[in-house]
Amino acid sequence: MKTVLPLAFAALVVSTTLAVPAVAQSSTQTPVAQAKRLLAPGNTAKDFQLRSVGGELSGNVRLSDVNAEGTVVVVVLRGFPGRQCPACSAQVADFVKNADKFAAKKARVLLIYPGAKSQLDQHAGDFLQGTKLPKPLTFLLDPGYQFTNAYGLRWNAVNETSYPSTLVVDKSGKITYAKISETHGGRATTDEILAAL
């Protein structure tokens, strides 16, 4: 009996020691790493509904409704982190310039503009500056970061809003392409997205 207790105790210590690093590793995973895992190709995109303020679709737009008609490109912008983001402006201009190529591939593009509820409409209007977005682009608001939080893309730092991201969701609701940037740049280009389609 004296030899059984030390062995049992040793087994308990070893198993506890081996389990600790795994727990520590998962709890220290960065938000971006978690988002990349959640939004990895092959995973199903979570449904969401956001209000349109411009482009092809109007009113409340639900991903599953748009997705039922074909492939959807979801582009997460930075919104208004104290000023309009030049990288976002350039990215949206690139989509406008190539809108006909997305239409030819029968892919709708949802541009998501996140931010605090206060003045989000005004900031979005300033961003668009009266621009009429061509088909198949639609500009959606994400007040209070409802979508951004649900997708794990909230960049919770001073003067930040969300990680600039692009997803391609096929008609079955599966993510087939994902690019999440940890900086203001490093975003998916329209060429990359068109190639993914």
pTM for the model:
0.83
Q: What is the pLDDT of residue 28?
A: 63
Inform me whether the pLDDT recorded for 37 exceeds 90. Answer: no
| Mean model confidence pLDDT for the chain | 87
Candidates 119, 143, 179; CA nearest to 52 is: 143
- For 92-130, the DSSP string reads HHHHHHTHHHHHHTT-EEEEEEEE-STTHHHHHHHHHTT
**CA 26 – CA 8 distance, rounded (Å):** 28
Q: 132-145, pLDDT tens digit by residue? A: 999 999 999 999 99
Q: Cβ contacts of residue 128 below 8 Å, gap of 6+?
A: 53, 54, 139
For the segment 175-192, the average pLDDT, to the nearest whole number, is 93
Q: Would you say residue 97 has pLDDT above 70?
A: yes
- Give the pLDDT confidence of 112-159 residue by residue, as tens digits: 999 999 999 999 999 999 889 999 999 999 999 999 999 999 998 988
Structural contact between residues 111 and 137, judged by C-beta atoms closer than 8 angstroms: yes
pLDDT tens track for 45-59? 999 999 999 999 999
Average pLDDT, stretch 176-181? 95
